[in-house]
């Protein structure tokens, strides 16, 4: 028996690892924060830690949603109304509601069969890479939602990371206070560009003109835009587009990711969707033009069996009259938190950005501290958890993100603690 491990150790004909995973930096940002916070809580069990780190909602699902889900559960309990496998792309009742309310009503042309219902935008932004060639060049905003970068690293589209965590082969588009968190167009042509608006983590929004510039760039260059609009419901300024498809020509060059997580509290319930317009063309190595829609449909149906009927009925209820009123109330609640955070931090002498059309406050760390030093200080001295800006990319160094997703009482306590810590 004792010989067996030795035998295994000496074998070379084992299953091989995808070594791209070894290029990834230590851990995905939020688990890394989780580890540090757990260590702190173990050492300080009496501390009342307030978490404004990961953008996870705190308020319960709207009553219209839970009522629809209860009803759907009852249907599942009855032979005549039971549902087995549904359409992989989503039930028509939900796809039609999305197309009508999120697009057609806003003057954007998106048809129900261009919508692919899924279990999350995080998964979708990673999964979409299956249908793109490894040679495609990629640009990301910096700071950036880490999933876009890490999934490209896993796929093998990058080299190693440098000391600042920038991966060779990716084009980083810096977004800092100096450029008003609005990146310049890439200096060299790229095939794929991730844009996230309202932005995670900076809370910045893109005007119609800015987005039109990107769409025009993509059309001229033959590039494709991966547009993450997970936070569109938080836009307060009516002049800001909520969808990339509100811009001329976007149907030819953009995929859009949307989610019920943040607007309707579905982070634990899981429902989102991706729009792949039928006009969107890509090319083969030999230069043949192909529509992406059937390719993504093929991938989606092969690897995914659809979101549960119960959850899709809940998502559909978001678009009912009651659901619209209740989700608007949730947004108002979180945006009031954002306002309190902005005002309280500003009064404490901190320079703040975002939080006006997004649930994230992006702040300059006081005294020029590094992002992680400020994280540790906030945790140790104020028992508050936020997200270090450098965790989102090199250009996030010296910045810090606070989420407005929390109870009012916790947000007020957080402001109070930060003010005391800095006084």
**Interaction between residue 258 and ligand MLT (CB under 6 A):** no
Q: How far apart are CA 38 and CA 317, in angstroms?
A: 37
Paired strand residues for 50: 384
Cα–Cα distances (Å) from 315 to 9, 182, 373, in that order, read 51, 32, 40
Q: How far is the CB of 403 from ligand MLT (least distance, A)?
A: 6
The Cα diameter of the chain in Å comes to 72
Q: How far is the CB of 319 from ligand MLT (least distance, A)?
A: 21
- Give SS3 for 150: helix
What DSSP character marks residue 53? S
| Cβ pair 271, 311 in contact under 8 A | yes
**Interaction between residue 122 and ligand MLT (CB under 6 A):** yes
In terms of CB distance, is 145 or 400 closer to ligand MLT? Answer: 145
Within 328-357, the residues that bind ligand MLT by CB under 6 A are none
| Cβ pair 392, 145 in contact under 8 A | yes
Give the start-end residues of each E strand in 221-308. 224-228, 254-259, 272-275, 281-283, 289-291
Binding-residue pattern over the window 287 to 306 for ligand MLT, x denoting contact by CB under 6 A = --------------------
Using CB under 6 A as the binding criterion, the count of chain residues that bind ligand MLT stands at 6
Residue nearest to ligand MLT (CB): 55
Cis peptide before 143 (omega within 30 of 0): yes
Binding-residue pattern over the window 49 to 78 for ligand MLT, x denoting contact by CB under 6 A = -----xxx----------------------
Binding-residue pattern over the window 394 to 413 for ligand MLT, x denoting contact by CB under 6 A = --------------------
Q: How far is the CB of 202 from ligand MLT (least distance, A)?
A: 11
In terms of CB distance, is 241 or 391 closer to ligand MLT? Answer: 391
Within 180-219, the residues that bind ligand MLT by CB under 6 A are 200
In terms of CB distance, is 33 or 108 closer to ligand MLT? Answer: 33
Nearest Cα neighbor of 230 from 211, 203, 268 is: 203
Q: How far is the CB of 400 from ligand MLT (least distance, A)?
A: 13
Q: How far is the CB of 260 from ligand MLT (least distance, A)?
A: 12
Binding-residue pattern over the window 145 to 174 for ligand MLT, x denoting contact by CB under 6 A = x-----------------------------
In terms of CB distance, is 122 or 293 closer to ligand MLT? Answer: 122
Token readout for 137 is: 């060049």
Cis peptide before 201 (omega within 30 of 0): yes
Nearest Cα neighbor of 297 from 122, 152, 87 is: 87
Token readout for 273 is: 């969707």
**Interaction between residue 37 and ligand MLT (CB under 6 A):** no
Nearest Cα neighbor of 342 from 331, 357, 355 is: 355
In terms of CB distance, is 122 or 364 closer to ligand MLT? Answer: 122
Q: How far apart are the first and last CA of the chain?
A: 65
Binding site for ligand MLT (CB under 6 A): 54-56, 122, 145, 200
């Amino acid at each position: 028996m004792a010989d067996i491990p030795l035998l295994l150790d000496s074998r070379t004909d084992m299953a091989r690892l995808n070594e791209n995973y070894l290029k990834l930096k230590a851990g995905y940002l939020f688990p890394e924060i989780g580890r540090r916070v757990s260590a702190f809580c173990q050492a300080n069990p009496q501390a009342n830690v307030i978490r404004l780190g990961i953008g996870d909602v705190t308020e319960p699902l709207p009553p219209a949603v839970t009522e629809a889900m209860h009803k759907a559960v009852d249907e599942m309990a009855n032979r005549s109304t039971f549902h087995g496998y549904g359409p992989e792309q989503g039930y028509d009742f939900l796809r039609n509601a999305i197309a009508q309310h999120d697009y057609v009503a806003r003057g954007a042309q998106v048809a129900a069969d261009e919508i692919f219902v899924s279990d999350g935008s995080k998964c979708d932004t990673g999964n979409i890479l299956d249908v793109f060639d490894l040679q495609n060049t990629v640009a990301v905003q910096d700071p950036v939602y880490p999933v876009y970068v890490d999934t490209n690293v896993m796929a093998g589209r990058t080299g190693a990371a440098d000391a600042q965590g920038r991966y060779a082969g990716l084009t980083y588009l810096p977004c800092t206070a100096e450029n008003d968190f609005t990146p310049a167009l890439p200096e060299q042509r790229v095939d794929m560009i991730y844009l996230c608006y309202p932005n995670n983590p900076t809370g910045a929004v893109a005007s119609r003109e800015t987005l039109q510039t990107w769409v025009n760039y993509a059309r001229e260059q033959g590039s494709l835009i991966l547009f993450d609009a997970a936070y569109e419901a938080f836009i307060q300024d009516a002049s800001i587009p909520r969808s990339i498809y509100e811009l001329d020509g976007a149907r030819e060059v953009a995929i859009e990711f949307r989610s019920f997580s943040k607007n309707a509290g579905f982070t634990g319930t899981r429902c989102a969707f991706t729009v792949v317009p039928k006009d969107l063309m890509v090319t083969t190595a030999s230069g043949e033009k192909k529509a992406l829609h059937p390719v993504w449909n093929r991938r989606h149906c092969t690897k995914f069996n659809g979101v549960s009927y119960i959850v899709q009925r809940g998502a559909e209820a978001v678009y009912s009259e009651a659901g619209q009123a209740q989700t608007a109330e949730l947004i108002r609640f979180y945006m009031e938190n954002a306002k309190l955070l902005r005002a309280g931090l500003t009064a404490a002498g901190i320079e703040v950005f975002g939080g006006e059309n997004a649930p994230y406050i992006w702040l300059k760390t006081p005294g020029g501290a590094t992002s992680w030093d400020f994280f540790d200080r906030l945790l140790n001295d104020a028992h508050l958890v936020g997200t270090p800006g450098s965790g989102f990319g090199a250009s996030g160094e010296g910045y810090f993100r606070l989420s407005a997703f929390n109870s009012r009482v916790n947000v007020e306590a957080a402001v109070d603690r930060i003010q005391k810590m800095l006084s």
